[in-house]
A and B are shown apart, each in its own frame.
Chain A
Amino acid sequence: MLLRLRQVVLAIALLMPGGYVVAGPISFNSALPVSEGVGILRSQIKLVRKTDDPSGQNRDLTVMAVPLVLVYGVSSKLALFGVLPYVDKRMDVTMGTKRIRRQTQGLGDGKFFARYTVYQQDRPGDTLRVAPFAGLKIPTGVHDKRDTFGLLPRSLQSGSGSWDSFAGIAITRQTLDWEFDTAASYRINTQASGFEFGDEARLDASFQYRVLPLSLGDVGVPAFVYVVLESNALWNGKDKLAGTTDINSGGLTWNLVPGLQYVTRRYVLETAVQIPTVQQLNGSALQTDWLWTAGLRWNF
């Protein structure tokens, strides 16, 4: 059963990326500036549902994650990010004639990373920025929780147990009317207690268009409403258990993410739905139905 839960792995991978900064995209990182001495607190709620199980076990997975993100501008170019999620994972599965539930709740794995702006071109009401980032995933979650049926599968644990490094680059062009962001990243997952999740690669893009106000007045800083369309391409490598590759893990997923953002001087409210458009998963995978995100960012 453990080796057949690759869909859970992908669900968690989908839940954990997150867009962490400034206004910008909802589902990934941007290169927009975090001013020196300014902090940003961000919280989101993410829900994912997977119910289309071809295996006959009628698996039904619901994952909720609430990542709390703290960002601080050390300088105009260097920003530090800390992420600590709370996760709740529930999977109903048919075992024999019985319907059982396996679940876990608690802190998930945290992340700490730094982003540095290496290129910046400013014009009136217009900016272009390039910012690489790199960091570590920290095993703050539990990876050895048991229930009445025994040790939970690693993919159902709240944490991975491993210290994993990741790096990437974000590019942003923002004008008063629209914004385009793209980011690419790679995470090298390592072994912990005999289990190793497959590596993860992402390629993301986002286009945001200001729909309100229709035209900008001559004074002040009005609130903006953006319509957002994002694209997440995600590749997961195969997991390894005690050195053996799990052929029923990993694969490719491409999400389209329509969303809405309300942006003011002090806070941002946003919501989006990640719709899996392409899912080429290895083996007999459980397909993702949808993933919903809502969030708040606050400047201080």
Chain B
Amino acid sequence: MRILQAFLIMAVLLAAPVHSVLAQDAKRSLIIQVDGLSCPFCAYGLEKNLNKVDGIDSVHMDMKSGKATVLLKPDAHVDDQVLRKAVEKAGFTAREIKRH
């Protein structure tokens, strides 16, 4: 019985930081719905311009949905206006920005 208790306590202790990290990641990510992106070769310019923005850690594009998933650096805050400007510089239109 004690072994089972110890195992459960360890499992909870180990899972908590992982859950916390995942939750933090979710808080740190946002999704930009980009209009006008319809070719893989154009996606590079969008990624490059978004990656130049201070506070952005990484960008992941989905061609089919036109969604750019942006992961922010810890404790970073990036205004919607800044994100929209970066998308515009790439030659596209940011329709909607969703934050978690």
Q: Which residues of A contact B (CB under 8 A)?
A: 22-23, 32-38, 73, 75-77, 117, 120, 122-127, 174-176, 179, 216-224, 263-268, 297, 299
Q: CB-nearest residue of chain A relative to B90?
A: A35
Do A22 and B39 have beta carbons less than 8 Å apart?
Answer: yes
Please tell me if B42 contacts chain A, counting CB pairs below 8 Å. yes
Given contacts A76-B90, A124-B66, A218-B62, contact A265 B41 (CB under 8 A): yes
Chain B residues near A219 (CB-CB < 8 A):
62
Please tell me if B88 contacts chain A, counting CB pairs below 8 Å. yes
| A-B CB contacts (within 8 Å), total count | 122
Minimum C-beta distance from B2 to chain A (A): 46
Minimum C-beta distance from B53 to chain A (A): 12
Tell me the complex Cα distance, A19–B81, Å. 35
Do B42 and A218 have beta carbons less than 8 Å apart?
Answer: no
Chain B residues near A175 (CB-CB < 8 A):
38
Minimum C-beta distance from B37 to chain A (A): 7
Majority secondary structure, B binding face: mixed
Tell me the complex Cα distance, A22–B46, Å. 13
Majority secondary structure, A binding face: loop
Minimum C-beta distance from B27 to chain A (A): 22
Q: Which residues of B contact A (CB under 8 A)?
A: 33, 35-49, 52, 60-66, 88-93, 95
Do A35 and B52 have beta carbons less than 8 Å apart?
Answer: no
Tell me the complex Cα distance, A227–B45, Å. 24
Q: Select one of A120, A222, A266 contacting B36, CB under 8 A.
A: A120
Most buried by A among B35, B64, B93: B64
Chain B residues near A36 (CB-CB < 8 A):
45, 49, 89-91
Minimum C-beta distance from A126 to chain B (A): 6
What would 15 A/B residue contacts be, using CB atoms closer than 8 Å? A23-B41, A23-B42, A33-B45, A33-B90, A36-B91, A117-B91, A174-B38, A176-B64, A216-B63, A220-B60, A220-B61, A221-B43, A268-B41, A297-B41, A299-B41
Given contacts A35-B48, A38-B45, A221-B40, contact A76 B89 (CB under 8 A): yes
Tell me the complex Cα distance, A120–B38, Å. 14
Do B39 and A32 have beta carbons less than 8 Å apart?
Answer: yes
Chain B residues near A263 (CB-CB < 8 A):
39-41
Q: Select one of A76, A125, A218, A267 contacting B37, CB under 8 A.
A: A125
Do A265 and B92 have beta carbons less than 8 Å apart?
Answer: no
